[in-house]
Each structure stands twice: as C-alpha cells, then as structure tokens.
Chain A
Amino acid sequence: MTRAPSFVRFATLALMLALLGVVSAQSTTALRVASTAAVTTWDPSLSFSTEAVYMANIYEPLLWANATGSAEKFTPALATSWETSDDGLAWTFHLREGVKFHDGETLDADAVVRSIDRHRAIGGAAFIWAPVTDVVAVDDMTVRFDLAYPAPLDLIAASLYGAWIVSPAALDAAEADESYFEAGIGAGTGPYTLADYQPDAEVVLSAFPDYWGGWDEPGHFQNVVVSIVSDQVLQEQMLLAGEVDLALSLPPTSYASISADPRYAVQTVVTPFNYVGFLNTVRPPLDDVRVRQAISYAIPYDDIIAVGAEGLGTQGRGPVPQGIYPWSEEVPQYHYDPDKARQLLAEAGHEGGGFTLRLTYAAENAIERGFAPVLADALADIGIQVEIEPLLFNQQWAIAKADPAEAQDIFLLLYWPTYSDAGSDNLWSMFHSSDVPFFNLSYWRNSVFDDLVDRAIELTGTDRATAQALYVDAMTILVNDAAGLYFLDAGAWYAIPTYLSGFEYNINYPFATFFYPIRLAD
C-alpha cells in the first residue's frame, strides 16, 4: 500500500528526534528557575502575594533581616546605619550614597519618604506601618520615622511586603496612571531589572549594570529566567531532566529519592509556615475546654507530620512558628494520648464521643489535604465523627467569618507572619478577642491573654526580653485552654545542583529567593 510508508516515516522521524535529546548547556548567561509564584501585581505597594519572589530581586528595602542564628540581626540595604530614640518613638535611618534606580534616578530621602507614604496609603500590607504617624526627610540622605507607640521599626522596615523603596519617577507615573506598574515595570534599586513578563508563564530578570553591589565577582548570572510552573511534580521533572537549574517547590514525597541523588545538595530548612486548627469555642460541644483538650490529646502529631509533610516539620508550640520571634520552648505542647482523650471526653459528659464535627480546609492546600483524613481517623478512634469539607480558601474563610454559631467546628489554616514578628501578627491576629471575626476563627475570648499580648506588642520595640516573657505567659494560657490545635511548623527542602553555589534560604523571607548571590561553582 502507498500509505503504509508514511507511518514508517513517522516512526523513523520520532526515533530521530528522540536521539537528538534535549538541549541544555549551562553557562552564566541564564539561571533557569521553576517557581510556582504567579504575579498578582507588579505594583511594589500593592504587592502582598507570591510575586515577592521577583520583587525581592528587583527592589530593596532599607534593611534586610538576617536568618536566625546570624551574628547581626540585620544587613544594611538602602540604609547604612540607623538609631532609635530612648523612648522608642523616633527611628532615624541614614541612606546609602550613590545608589541608582533602574530608571536612572538617584536614591535620596525624598524617594524613601514618598515610597513609604504610598505603602501606608494604598499598600496591601499597609497595616505594618500602623505605629508610624509621620515619615520625615531630615536632610538629603536621612529619614526619620515618628511613632505613636514603640514598635520594632527595624523589623517592619525589613518586611517583604510594603517596604520597598521605589523610584520617584515611577511614583509620579503611577500617580497619573494607577495601573502603571502592571504592564511589567520594575523601578527599584535591586540587582536585577524586570526584562520580560509573560503572565503565568515566564518572568525574565536581567542584571542591572549600575547595581551598587557591583558585578565584579565572577560567576554571577546575567539573566534569570523563571518559568512559572504551578505543579510541583512538573517542577521535579524539569529539574531532573536538566530543563531548569533550580526548582523552588519540589513535592515533599520526592525528598528521599532526590536526597540520594549525587547531582544535588539537599538543604532542609525551617519555614515560618505553621498549620493550626481553630476549634469553634462558642458552640457545643467545643465550648467545653475538656472536649477541646480531649481533641488535642487525640491527635497523632507524628503521623500528621509524616503524611502531611513527609516528616519535614516539627510539632507546633502554639501559633508562633519555630525560628520566629517570640517562639519559645517553654510553651507547653499536647502529645498523642488517646486514653487521656477518652477520659476527658467522659468527664465532659461525652462518654465514647458520639457527636459529629464539621472540619473545613482549603482545597488548594496539598498539605492540609494530605493530613485532614489522618486527623479524622484519629478522632474517629475516640468516637468523634468528622465530616471533612474541602473548600476554596476564600469560601472557607467567608463561611467562618459570617456567623460563628453557624460556622464550622474545626478550621484548618496555614498562617505565616507578614514580617518577622509573630507576636503582633500570629498571636494577635489569630487569638486576640475581636467583635468581628477576621483571623481569630476560634472566636475565643480571654481578657488576660488580650492584655498580655497588648502589653508585649508595645514593649517589643524597646524591651524585647520582657515582651518575650509576656508572650510566653500568653501562649501558655492559650495552649492550656486548647482554643486551637497546633499541628506542625512546616519544614521545606531545596535540591541545589552541585554546579551552583550561594543559594541561601532566609526564614524571614520564605517567599523570596535571592538570585544575586547564586553563582556557578568552579
């Protein structure tokens, strides 16, 4: 038949292609990265989401917060030195000389004042500046922040959200056109400029020749191409096939197999992400502290860490993640003890359980999806039935905020502090009393706790040791009253190909990866 050969021809072609293999030659022209991070906005004020990965390479704040355990707490960025008044109500920053923005403008006090004022006015994370009443240019290169009450302004100024310093020319343009940045404009001082952006597909960063840090050291990458790949499994495939040099979100399930692969150096890290479960304290049966404690004892924490995070994590101590202020080892923990759980249930008048609880979680969260069934099975063991309801986070949250009396019994939440102070964020947001529920989804009220946290927040800027002690007292009350379940402080891992050096994870910037320090190893 005449047609038969065409099939044969096709097969031959396919084979030929196969033999050609995949192109990949590593040089300093481009670092190829796979990341899940979509861009919700390019506006440095509005940015409050995953685009932080890119922002952190395009923009710089006044200070960078160093990873836990470093000798210095901060690395100077656009400010070279800073001091605070004795009452903690005035912070003064001295700016770095000779810093250029990507558009050619020069850094000065005015640029800082205008940037911060814009963040305070329209920022997605505007609330971090709540203590600030005024930002003043003292002289050309000095800026003073006036505060209404003492606050850790160094931590705030080092925030990954709402603290970038932006070119005044770009701010002018944005004033005229509020969507100015969205076309893909980057106007920072950072090592990389935003060269190209294909929504949901690719972000290309190119070296900024006038970067104040310089490009003299050998091995820096001149370009960074980030492929936006929302699927961890695909990221893994791309990494293993050499299609990318770095994959920023690998599936937890592959940890063991990739650790054994000599082509990669695997780094395990502690993250500020913690998983909590809010117990609905305003409705029976969870309004009874003994029932809540029973549930806290019925949870197989190790199994949850094993299934949810492939063992990469530790059991939580309250809602403050490990490695973030004011985490403390003195805060008590529950341990798995089903007998004690049954006994507590009986004391509360629920011998053998016999009731049903409604649990909601965010359908888009793989870890919650992973461990929710384990949690349900464990509660079934002490006689409590759990109805699991996966919802989109926004729907889950909308239901929880609407009416506590009608809401879920258990709400699973992934939370992390906006900047590196989990006292004023996690503890206050998640458990401080509030008439309108927002993130305090246990609907818990405790005036002693409220008072301790309020006082600690005010002391954090001036007397951190006392603040820490107050926080420990508050968290102890919280844990003993079992308003929430503290499943795990999640860990993470990165597989770095042996030909790269300089990759460093910083718990203060869990969503950022800094490309400038990454270089080709010799």
Chain B
Amino acid sequence: MREGARVRGASGVTGAAWRMFAGGLAGGPTGGPAGAGEPPERDDLAPPRSTWQRGLSILKRDPLAVFGICVVVLLIVVAAFAPKLAPYPAMGEGRSSVSTRVSPPSKEFVLGTDRLGRDVLSRIIYGTRPALIAPLIVVLLAVAIGAPLGAIAGLMGGWVDEVVMRVCDLFLAFPSLLLAMAIVALQGPSLTNAVIALAVSWWPWYTRLVRGVALSLRHQAFVEAARALGASTPKIMLRHILPNSITPILVQASLDVGTVILATTGLAFIGLGSQPPAADWGLMIEDGRALLRTAWWTSTFPGLAIFISVLSFNLVGDALRDLFDPKEYR
C-alpha cells in the first residue's frame, strides 16, 4: 500500500502548521526526513519510566515548553474570566466610546484605544474567546468526521478503504487554506463559516491518522480475539481502535491549534472571518491598519497576542509529541 508507506512531512511544530498549506504534499513516498525531527534520545540502559516521570524530565530540560504551558493556561483563564479581568468589560464586548478614540497607551488605557475609543487591552482579553474556541471546534469537528472514517477504512479494508482514502486524497489535493477561503467566500464571511470551512478541509488528516492506528492494531491479538468472539466492526472500532487513537489525536490536535488560530485570524484580516464588532485579533489588526503610522498600538498588540498564543500552543504541542512520541502510528 502506498498510503501506508506515506509518512507525514515535517515533524513537530513544522509538521502541524505545515498541513494547513501543504495538504497532501507532505512527505514524498520515501518519507524524506519525515518523522526524524530530532533524533530520539537513546538511553537504552535507563529503566522504563512512567509518562509523568518522562513529562517532568522533558519540562526540566525544556524551559520553552514550560513557557508554552504557562501561556496556554493563562489564555484559558483569561478567556474564562474575561468579564472579570478586562478593565473595561463593556468596551471588550464592543461598546464604543467616541470621546476616548485613538488614545495612546496611558495609565487609564494600558495598551491605548482604537478607532472607536475602545480599550485595546479589554478587546484583546475578549479576543481570547474566539481565538481559543474556534480552533477547539475546528479540531473537534475534524476529529468527529475524520476519526470514525479512518477507523472504518482501516478495519474494513478493501473497497471501503479505497473509497475513503481516495476521497481523502481529493481533499488533500488542494491547499486547505484555499479550499477554506473558497467555502467562506461562497457561504458568506463569518467566524462560524470559517470554522466549518476549516473543519471541512481538515478532517482527512485525522482519517489518515486513525486509519494508521487501525491498520497497526488490526492484527494484534486482542483485536483478533474480539473478532473471533463475534464482535462487530462498530464495536471493535469503539472498544479498541478509538481509545487507542486518543493519544495520537491529542498530540496532533495540540499541534493544530496554533495553525488554526493563524488561519482564523488571517481569514478575519482579509475579511473572510469574524465580522465587526466582534473582538477578534485578526479583525483588530485589520481595523488598526489604517492607523499604523499614527497609532501603532492599535494593530501591534493584537498581532503580538496572536504570535505569543500560536507560539505557546506550538511549544506545548512539541512537548506533547516528545512525551508520547506517536511515531509508531505515522
């Protein structure tokens, strides 16, 4: 099987973000350096350690991962308690304040105000919500569509496998951002449509991932035993394949979050995502663009927010990958 031999392109951070643009291209048939990433640590003599122990040791030698985790936790907290944390909750929700428009950073407005006089800090704080929820839904949707299909394809093989994988190939044949943009443009620009469009162009990755798991487990003793005992395909799928897919899916998903944040904010920036007056970082950059020369703070800070968030999710994803190293499924 060619597909089985096909390996993900770049690994780690690059691998995740990559798929957004690279689609089916990732990895030639040889797999190139795929899965290589950093060479695995080989301390064959060390005793086997628990996941927690390994996790701790990764954190110990990787301060960047610690930074990433801290920021991600912070983002979640900020998103959850936005109304409590924002200095001006009403402005965060979109309330304009014409008298304070375009004020530079000051004691009153730490990061300045925008064209409608709204506190940039409050807007950024409220912006964590779409920034976190959108990727969550994209990944959940993609998994919900992709994972069962992958499990079925892997378990049943034959023509079912063939059909599912060909459809995957079809979707992976064009840059997913392009497909997503086309869908959003035609359905009307909104965050909801952007999320749906991204999920639609994203699911084949999870199909491939779970299919890989299914293929590797298909002939394992416990699956064969279950089958011999008369368990149906759906049952095997639910009992054995999906549970065993959770770890690789989790690793993959964590690597995808940053990429989806870039995609949704980017779509908003060019007008194909969130619409005003939503507090969306991409939209804030677009809105502040005309003011860049005279009021640099309006678009600089939201951009920084995107950059740091994406960076942190990527670092966390990297660390998770190191921890679970789902290489066996790739």
Contact = CB atoms under 8 A, between A and B. Distances in A.
Direct contact of A and B (CB under 8 A): yes
Interface of A: 232-233, 236-237, 240, 251, 253-254, 256-257, 300, 303, 306-307, 363, 369-370, 372-374, 376-377, 388, 390-392, 395
B298 to A, nearest CB: 10
B294 A233 contact: no
B96 A374 contact: yes
A407 B27 CA distance: 51
Interface in B37-64: none
A395 to B, nearest CB: 7
Interface stretch (B247-255, B257-265, B271-279): B271-279
B6 interface: no
Contact of B98 (A240, A253, A306): A306
Given A233-B292, A253-B291, A257-B294, A303 B189 contact: no
Nearest to B298: A253
Given A257-B294, A307-B96, A307-B101, A374 B276 contact: no
A254 B293 CA distance: 9
B115 interface: yes
B29 interface: no
Given A306-B101, A374-B98, 15 more contacts: A232-B290, A253-B290, A253-B294, A254-B294, A257-B293, A300-B98, A307-B101, A363-B189, A363-B271, A369-B276, A373-B276, A373-B277, A377-B96, A390-B189, A390-B275
Nearest to A306: B98
A390 B294 contact: no
Contacts of B271: 363
A233 B293 CA distance: 9
Interface of B: 94-96, 98, 101-102, 115-116, 188-189, 271, 275-277, 289-294
B96 A390 contact: no
B116 A374 contact: yes
B293 A307 contact: no
Contacts of B96: 307, 373-374, 377
Contacts of A240: 293
Nearest to B295: A253
B292 to A, nearest CB: 7
Contacts of A374: 96, 98, 116
A381 B267 CA distance: 32
A237 B293 CA distance: 9
B290 A233 contact: yes
Contact of B276 (A256, A306, A390): A390
Nearest to B294: A257
Given A232-B290, A253-B115, A303-B98, A391 B188 contact: yes
A519 B189 CA distance: 44
Contacts of A232: 290
B244 to A, nearest CB: 44
A365 to B, nearest CB: 12
Contacts of A376: 277
A240 B102 CA distance: 22
B13 to A, nearest CB: 22
Report the 10 A-B pairs with minimum CB-CB distance, sorted nearest first.
A303-B98, A251-B290, A373-B277, A390-B275, A253-B290, A233-B290, A374-B96, A377-B96, A257-B294, A373-B96
6 contacts: A233-B292, A307-B98, A369-B276, A370-B115, A388-B276, A395-B188
A381 to B, nearest CB: 10
Given A253-B115, A300-B98, A363-B271, A388 B277 contact: yes
A363 B275 contact: yes
Contacts of B275: 363, 390
B277 A233 contact: no
A395 B98 CA distance: 30
The residue in A253, A306, A370, A373 that gathers the most chain B C-beta atoms within 10 A of its C-beta is A253
A233 B299 CA distance: 13
B26 to A, nearest CB: 27
B260 to A, nearest CB: 23
Contacts of A388: 276-277
A363 B101 CA distance: 22
A324 B7 CA distance: 68
A233 B291 CA distance: 8
A463 to B, nearest CB: 45
Contact of B116 (A251, A254, A363, A373): A373
A374 B95 CA distance: 8
B98 A254 contact: no
Nearest to A377: B96
A492 to B, nearest CB: 15
A490 B95 CA distance: 24
A390 B274 CA distance: 10
Nearest to A251: B290
Nearest to A254: B294
A370 B95 CA distance: 13
B189 A254 contact: no
B291 A377 contact: no
Given A300-B98, A390-B275, A307 B116 contact: yes
A236 B290 CA distance: 9
Contacts of B189: 363, 390
A233 B188 CA distance: 25
B115 A307 contact: yes
A506 to B, nearest CB: 27
A324 B105 CA distance: 43
Contacts of A233: 289-290, 292
B162 to A, nearest CB: 41
A253 B115 CA distance: 9
Contacts of B102: 253
The residue in B98, B275, B289 that gathers the most chain A C-beta atoms within 10 A of its C-beta is B98
A320 B290 CA distance: 30
Given A306-B101, A363-B271, A254 B290 contact: yes
